[in-house]
């Protein structure tokens, strides 16, 4: 049975919510996600390699988009899939599900999950591709947590169910010159007030693995089976050791997501891994660290929801360098606030 239900009037939502859901109305963003083979094949492998977990199960797909994950679940043996999405793309998903002969397996419901009632009281499995830049940007995980607490049967599964976040230092002098110092001389004029604007917003970009000049540090991990919304705000310490004599201009953050099952599948997004549309998140410092092999950067990273728009993040990174030679001229300390908009 394929059905469509409009349970939430988008115009009645706060502007930040309207903007968020409307961004997924556009074809381009779904094309980018579908063409991200690391992303899409990780989900497919997690389901197809663990078909015993899906056989005759009731599945909920939170934020189904074009319906690709729902169709994977149906093909993996699910008895019924309830696919929820607020954006207009669900109209295309309805066509696609029908075209692929899965009308009897997938029920499409348009609406915000928190505003609708599923036709069933419980589901056995929740699947969702909720991850954003810096993993937590957009806060879509909130809806997965809501679905878990309201609908997931005892002992049920969530795909993915575990996440880890990593930080490292990089050499990126050329790009920093282009991004930051460009404003010091713009066709002969001083535009330096724009430097602060350019600095505070992190850059989402692909970082080459050879740009890493420190060891990475896993600073945050959580289990989606148990995490709370409040538990997604954090303040964690890190230690990074320089692996060469090099200047450090920025920090990068990436993450990986793990799927449950006897056949383990992990979706990684690091600079050493295959490209994903999430890329990595780059945080430029307002100083340059002169590192020698063996030096240590000891610091902390904090992330909390923006008070005005909870889908945005306020991020603070603090750091200090400890040199192996006790060279105080290189033992800099710093602190910077970043805003993911």
- Find the catalytic residue in 129, 171, 246, 258: 129
Rounded Cα gap, residues 88 and 78, in angstroms? 25
Of the candidates 138, 171, 246, 258, the residue annotated as catalytic is 138
The 10 Å Cβ neighbour count of residue 245 is 12
Write a three-state SS string for 16-75. Answer: HHHHHHHHCCCHHHHHHHHHCHHHHHHHHHHHHCCHHHHCCCEEEEECCCCCHHHHHHHH
In the beta sheet, which residues pair with residue 327? Answer: none
Which H or E element spans position 99? helix 89-99
Helix (H, G, I), strand (E, B) or coil at 89: helix
- Is 32 a known active-site residue? no
Task: Please give the C-alpha separations between residue 294 and each of 25, 196, 284, 297, 318, in angstroms, as whole numbers.
Answer: 49, 32, 22, 10, 20
DSSP for 255-282, please give it: EEEEE-SSS-EEEE-STTS---TT-EEE
Indicate if 31 belongs to the active site: no
Q: How many contiguous H segments (helices) and E segments (strands) does the chain have?
A: 9, 15
Residue 317 token pair? 């990174």
Distances (CA, A) of 143 to 26, 28, 91, 98: 21, 23, 21, 26
Give the pairing of strands 152-159 and 123-128: parallel
What 8-state DSSP symbol labels residue 111? S
- Distance from the Cα of residue 29 to its chain's centroid: 15
Closest C-alpha to 8, from 93, 105, 117, 102: 117
Handedness of CA 165, 171, 175, 181 (dihedral sign): positive
Catalytic residues: 129, 138
């Amino acid at each position: 049975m394929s059905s469509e239900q409009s349970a939430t009037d988008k115009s009645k939502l706060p502007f930040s919510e309207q903007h968020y859901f409307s961004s997924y109305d556009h074809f381009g963003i779904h094309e980018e996600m579908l063409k991200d083979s690391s992303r899409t094949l990780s989900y497919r492998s997690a389901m197809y390699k663990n078909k015993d977990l899906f056989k005759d199960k009731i599945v909920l797909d939170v934020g189904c988009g074009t319906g690709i994950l729902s169709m994977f679940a149906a093909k993996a043996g699910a008895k019924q899939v309830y696919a929820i999405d607020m954006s207009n793309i669900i109209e295309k998903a309805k066509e696609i599900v029908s075209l692929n002969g899965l009308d009897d397996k997938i029920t499409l419901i348009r609406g915000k999950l928190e505003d609708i009632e599923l036709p069933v009281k419980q589901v056995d499995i929740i699947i969702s591709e909720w991850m954003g830049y810096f993993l937590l940007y957009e806060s879509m995980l909130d809806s997965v947590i809501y679905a878990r607490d309201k609908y997931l049967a005892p002992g049920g599964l969530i795909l993915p169910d575990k996440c880890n976040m990593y930080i490292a230092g990089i050499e990126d002098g050329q790009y920093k010159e282009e991004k930051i110092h460009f404003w010091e001389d713009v066709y002969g004029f001083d535009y330096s007030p724009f430097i602060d604007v350019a600095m505070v917003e992190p850059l989402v970009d692909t970082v080459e693995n050879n740009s890493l000049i420190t060891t990475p540090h896993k600073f945050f991990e959580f289990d989606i089976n148990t995490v709370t919304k409040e538990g997604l705000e954090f303040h964690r310490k890190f230690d990074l050791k320089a692996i060469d004599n090099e200047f450090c201009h920025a920090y990068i953050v990436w993450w990986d997501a793990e799927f449950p099952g006897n056949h383990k599948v992990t979706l990684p997004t690091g600079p050493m891994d295959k490209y994903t549309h999430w890329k990595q998140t780059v945080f430029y410092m307002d100083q340059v660290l002169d590192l020698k092999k063996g030096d240590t950067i000891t610091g902390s990273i904090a992330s909390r929801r923006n008070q005005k728009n909870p889908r945005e993040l306020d991020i603070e990174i603090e750091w200090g360098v400890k040199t192996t030679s006790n060279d105080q001229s290189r033992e800099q300390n710093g602190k910077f606030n970043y805003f993911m908009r």
